Structure 1
Amino acid sequence: MRSIAVLLLVSFHVIGGVRTDGLQLSHPHPLRIYGDLFVDVRMPLFAFVAGAVYALKPPQRGTLMPFLLGKFRRLAVPGITAITVFMAFGYAIDGRLPFEGHFWQAYYRHYEIFWFLQVMLIIFPLLGALDALTRGAILWPALILSLLAIAMGWSFDSDLMAANRITHLLGYLLLGVAFIRHVETLEAHRGLAVTLAASAFLAGLAINLWIMRETGRPSTERLDLQSLLFAGGACVTAMLVLPRLHWLSWLGAFSLTIYLYHILVTSGARRTLQAIDIESSVVHLLLGTALGILLPVLLQVIASRWQVTRLLVLGLRARPRRT
């Protein structure tokens, strides 16, 4: 699932929006349809996996503070580094800083792709604290309310720590938590669970295909019933039916670094290909996606060699010194 999420994310940023960075393809180009059709599922997949991982070792009352400090180290520290690098590259290329020169606001306001980390830095402290204090009883009320928020299109009107995207992710993250905590029940009724999840996924897909037929393009709305059916069904179905491919599992360990740095690589690859007059969208997609994954993997391998870069770039603890 992590590998699929990574491929969807990186390939989308190679394609880009209709008028934003990327190939700027318009409808009815197949890659434009692909990019828009899976807008509902890209980040929900990451959120669902994050919830599943959280559920494997949730904080208790006595471990809440180490949990919060660990999340800050793992998410905020490499996020701050990546935002700084991203702004530096942007200024070097375009001579512009975000937020009309008030660049420090990029660290705490909705900024480029980094909104995902900002949202997680809101969700995990709240979820961890409430989960520990209620001993898990908060899960179902929070899950029902958050799924309702997606279906009804509710959101917060604030870009502080990307709060306006909380409802986009919270329901799927809690769905991942619920999956792990009730995995035995789901496995005992596997056929029914797969049928329901796949039906939701297909219903969401069918609605979106109907929208595309009527409007000429898929829906890009992330907060509605169609999005909930499509993304929620896709997450649960994938968790139930996808095999665990051990030869591919290594990629999961690099997913955060790929997320943080792939857009610099895909942008650089596009500019280089355009400079040498290669306009083939297929070449751009394949090369940009491959480099957008492999170069961040290389960055993580290199950064893991030194204690300071392990912390600043990867958010990992220092390795114990050999005696």
Structure 2
Amino acid sequence: MCSILFDAYCGLALAMEGQGYFFYSLYVFKKNTAKIRILPGRRCIFTILKVCQCRNKEENSETGYRKIPYICNMANAEKNLSVETLRGIAILLVVVGHVVGSGPGGGMKIDFPHPLRYLYVWIDYIQMPLFTAIAGWAYALKPFSASSGFGSFVRKKALRLLVPMAAVGTLYFLVQYLMPGTNNKGELSQMWRIYVFPYTIYWYLPSLFLIFVVQWWMDSRKWMDTPGKWAVCCMAALILSRINDVWILHEVPDLFSFKGALGQLPYFFVGVASCRFAVPLYSRPAVRHVMLAVALCGIALIQTVWFYPGKCASLSMLLYPVTLIPALFLLLASKWHNRFFVWIGSYAYSIYLFHGFGTSGGRIILKMMGIDAIVPILLSATFIATIGPVLVDKLLDRSGMLRMLFLGRK
């Protein structure tokens, strides 16, 4: 009986970990006393489940206790450190990628075969899929509830995503139009397009809004409440992500960045599954090994894109989602954390909204100072584009109106 209870406890712990719960160390002694080891510098409120005394192979012969996980609910604890670390890494990759530029004509205008252009191939592979998977994981933390209503859900997401897109996007358009030395200036007569079609870095916000709407609709019909149903939905999303800009869809205007939503939808589903279905995904070593093998194939695809441009590169990029999905699952299962990345991750949304001012402004300021060296520009622009939005966040947070308009917070 004791063994059954212990196994059930560990199974529950693993399942709860997938639902956003912390794991630290709990040592249960023979006399129902416990010793808890908590990560230094973190506070949490927890409930220790009583585990009856029983023999176990993992029991330490000297101390007479065995190590098992305990559960700390996210509602009573600080944010999940490992996911916040990934969030911090993801936003830094986004910033560095935009400093370098997506092509030779943007950013620092670095052409092939410079090493930074090779670095961007790696960044482009993982940055937005990781960001989207984290968004899906965060969405799945809260159980779906139809009682709140679709209208309420849409209003909250519109406030969080669309209002800042319009406010910050307008500001960015005007600054880019007025400031000398910026890339891709627009015409004032065409400014209306930034609210309807994808606009520079802000294409992601309407795409993510549409993804949230799709996910809510699917949850309302219980289409993703089991691993099997999730697999069917993810396969459909994969197919849509590969044909979202070919054939008939290529002729369809990209209204509200719906093509970006189709491209990112599978990765959002990955985040949802990594939270909801942790036990079948992570409890079997064989599944992890297969994921790792497929994820490593993605590294080979990246090399193909770089060293064999043309048809081979196009085929490799077509297969990207197949290798990215297991890679994202493994990353979200990681328990590594870093305080610096956790801190950066806590400002990830503000950095995303305002880093474009820093990437362009930092580069222009350095060139006005006569600094043309690539490395100083890269490091300085990245620093300005990362720390600047943090300061802007703190400044805007003092005003309720500005906080709502530019940060999407009440």
1:264-275 pair list within 5 angstroms: 264-275=357-368
Partner in structure 1 of residue 140 of structure 2: 55
How far off is 1:171 after superposition? 0.5
Amino acid at match of 2:165: G
Structure with greater Cα Rg: 2
| Superposed CA offset, 1:176-200 (max 9, x none) | 10111111233322x3343222222
Q: TM-score, normalised by structure 2?
A: 0.71
Q: Matched residues, percent identical?
A: 26
What is the total number of aligned residue pairs between the two structures? 314
| Superposed CA offset, 1:39-58 (max 9, x none) | 12111111100100011114
Distance 1:88 1:215 in 2: 37
How far off is 1:302 after superposition? 1.1
Runs of 5+ unmatched residues, structure 2: 1-85
Distance 1:217 1:34 in 2: 21
Partner in structure 2 of residue 2 of structure 1: 87
Name which structure has the greater RCO, CA cutoff 8 Å, separation 6+: 1
Amino acid at match of 2:236: L
1:170-249 pair list within 5 angstroms: 170-189=265-284, 191-215=285-309, 219=313, 224-225=318-319, 227-249=320-342
Alignment of 1:20 onto 2:111 = no
Runs of 5+ unmatched residues, structure 1: 318-323
How far off is 1:219 after superposition? 4.3
Which stretch shows the higher mean deviation, 241-250 or 166-175? 241-250
C-alpha distance 70-58 of structure 1, shift in aligned 2 (>3 A): farther
Distance 1:273 1:59 in 2: 49
Partner in structure 2 of residue 131 of structure 1: 219
Amino acid at match of 1:144: M
C-alpha distance 240-193 of structure 1, shift in aligned 2 (>3 A): farther
| Superposed CA offset, 1:244-269 (max 9, x none) | 33453232221111111101111011
In structure 2, which of residues 172, 179, 183 is the aligned counterpart of residue 86 of structure 1?
A: 172
Distance 1:170 1:300 in 2: 28
Partner in structure 2 of residue 73 of structure 1: 159
Contact in 1 for aligned 2:121/2:302 (Cα 8 Å): no
Contact in 2 for aligned 1:68/1:125 (Cα 8 Å): yes
Distance 1:135 1:142 in 2: 8
Distance 1:261 1:210 in 2: 34
Tell me which protein shows more strand as a share of its residues.
Answer: 2
Q: Which runs of 4+ in 1 moved over 4 A?
A: 94-97, 216-223
Contact in 2 for aligned 1:198/1:234 (Cα 8 Å): yes
How far off is 1:238 after superposition? 1.3
Partner in structure 2 of residue 296 of structure 1: 389
Tell me which protein shows more helix as a share of its residues.
Answer: 1
Amino acid at match of 1:90: Q
Partner in structure 2 of residue 321 of structure 1: none
C-alpha distance 217-86 of structure 1, shift in aligned 2 (>3 A): farther
